[in-house]
Structure 1
Amino acid sequence: MSPYQIHLSKYPPSSPEKHHRLFQSSWFVQFASWLEYSPSKDAAYCLPCYLFTMKASRRFGWDTFTITGFTSWKKINDGTNCAFLNHVGQDPCSCHNNALKSSEDLLKRSQHIDKNEIYRVLSHHCLDIQNIRGQGYDGASNIWVLNGKLQGEGPVVSNDCTVAKNG
């Protein structure tokens, strides 16, 4: 999973003014882990924030890099006022940095839990999968639909355990 970074020979100017400003492909190098560009909207976006920002913020401009798109090219390379740097934020727990971490975790195989490991832990504690249902479900399921079929660990467990199907 990587951002859509299309390299055009020429990007459209932001306005017909005397001082044309336009998106620069060199920004893809500076902000390689997250910066996307939409040629149809002539706007920049943040892929991790788009994927992992859970709710609207009261902070002005929270949706600039996720929904509306960023187009103020003159605000890039503006030192401490650089819009891209401000979006990332200095706090390691900024919304952007949290979204980036979630994105990286999604791609790490070591972050995934194997079905057999779940069964091993349950067995180690003398717990039978048939006797466990609805324990700790918080709506954050790892089940998804692909071509009309359920995918992920949930359907695998439900195939092994009839109680999981009938919850």
Structure 2
Amino acid sequence: MKYLRMFLCLVALSLTACMSHVFTDTTTRLQVENKTDVTILGLDIISDDGSSVSPWIRDAVEPGEKSRVVEEDWVGTFRVRVRWGGFVYVKDGKCETRLLKNGDSGNVVNLAKETKSVVKEINVTEITECTIVRKENNSYIELDFEGGSQYLIVSQDENGKVAFKLK
């Protein structure tokens, strides 16, 4: 009976939060493939209240290139901000985005000042909500991510519609 209690205490101790790191994956790995014609400037993690930003992928990902695999100690669901050079166009608040290179004209409004709009879907696979922020020469989009190993493909079609796909 004494050994059974000791065994049960040992099992309970080993399953606490400290020991669970031995059995669960506590890091998130990410690689980004840029299939657009705009440079991705980096990816950041944003705090829940939006007050702090922590860089995740610091290197620019040129069009047609892949980033290196970056591993960080994040677990669970979190917001990721994808930054790129150029502009974002959101058509009439609908679920459509278009990347524009610098110098391109189009129905882009309020380029001089920052504007925000929340879009439920933008031609996205496995990512259900995002926030699009348009600023001149520095646009970004915020996505909800789940921890683990992720391979993010950012692509666009011939009309410039952006798609984010996780593999």
- TM-score, length-normalised on structure 2? 0.28
Q: Hey, which of these two has a bigger chunk of helix by percent? A: 1
| Structure of larger gyration radius | 1
